[in-house]
Amino acid sequence: MAFFSHEGHQVYYEVHGEAEKTLIILNGIMMSAASWQPFIKLLKEHVRVVLVDFFDQGKSSKTHVPYDQTLQVGLVKALIDHVRCSSGKMVLLGISYGGEIAMKVAVEAPEAVDALILANTTDYTDPQLKAVGDAWISAAKTYDGRVFFKATIPPIYSGGFYERQLEWLSAREKMFSELFKPEWYEAFIRLVISAENHDERHRLSRIKVPTLVIGADQDQITPLRCQKRIAGAISNARFMVIPECGHASMYEKPHEFFAMVLGFIGTAKETFEI
């Protein structure tokens, strides 16, 4: 519930709880700090939770000009300095777009991150993922919430979830079509474009901190093979899969997602003499 200034823009962030360990959470592209609302009560029993809106997300500044992910990486580094506690440990969690930023921060500022969680994300915007982004941009340019919803939402859930949650999805479709203003779509388009050149395949091996990689077997946006590649490249990676789950794993399987996250945070530094 506060702002700080970075590169002449306002960054919106929230801090919840007072635990010793800090968990900074980086959003997926269509999310904002508000998306984590249902999970704060649980999380703050275990960690000091820091939520943040990237530029062009939620309550942070709109940039109005194109950029690449370097801008968001800078925002996160500044945020880390801003919320750091003297002795506290810092865990960085990113989902999807947020995972792309998180791995860049872990590569470039290894001293700032004690543990890393990469969920439903990829090390590389391959041509197919770029094409998915292009389709989302086309849909956004209609400025029509229902068109945008139909183009972007169905592939981010598993088939089973989609079928079981039709009513909830229908309510969200209505919310999208009412809430989103042209400047939201323009910001979204800039976010998509900023990820087009994402490629950390050759830098991932620099990450040495304990890292949890979460994948979902029905993730169509960043399929399991992306997380497999990430887990294979990071020497200290632990790899967990949520079955019968799509890309938006924390909404679709919150029990599994947060059990994995909190279980990892509690055991990240552990060593076993087997």
Residues near a second copy, by CB under 8 A = 38-39, 42, 46, 126-129, 131-132, 134-135, 138-139, 142, 147, 150-151, 153-155, 157, 159, 162-163, 166, 168, 210, 212, 215, 217-218, 220, 223, 225, 228, 231, 238-244, 251, 253-256, 258-264, 266-267, 270, 272-274
Minimum CB distance to a second copy, residue 174 (Å): 15
Minimum CB distance to a second copy, residue 159 (Å): 5
3 state DSSP class of 22:
strand
46/203 with CB nearer a second copy: 46
Task: State in Å, rounded, how far the first CA of the chain is from the last one.
Answer: 46
Minimum CB distance to a second copy, residue 138 (Å): 5
Minimum CB distance to a second copy, residue 184 (Å): 18
33/75 with CB nearer a second copy: 33
Residue type, 15: V
Minimum CB distance to a second copy, residue 180 (Å): 16
Cβ(29)–Cβ(191) under 8 Å?
A: yes
4/258 with CB nearer a second copy: 258
Minimum CB distance to a second copy, residue 207 (Å): 16
Minimum CB distance to a second copy, residue 235 (Å): 13
* Spatial separation of the C-alpha atoms in residues 201 and 218, rounded to whole Å: 23
Cβ-based neighbour number of residue 172 at 10 Å: 14
3 state DSSP class of 60:
coil
Residue type, 78: A
The residue among 181, 249, 183 whose CA lies nearest residue 213 is 249
* Spatial separation of the C-alpha atoms in residues 98 and 80, rounded to whole Å: 15
94/215 with CB nearer a second copy: 215
Cβ(219)–Cβ(202) under 8 Å?
A: no
31/76 with CB nearer a second copy: 31
Tokens at 203, concatenated: 């830098």
Tokens at 56, concatenated: 């062009």
108/173 with CB nearer a second copy: 173
* Spatial separation of the C-alpha atoms in residues 110 and 114, rounded to whole Å: 8
Tokens 């490629």 belong to residue: 199
* Spatial separation of the C-alpha atoms in residues 229 and 234, rounded to whole Å: 9
109/153 with CB nearer a second copy: 153
Report how far Cα 233 is from the mean position of its chain's Cα atoms.
Answer: 20
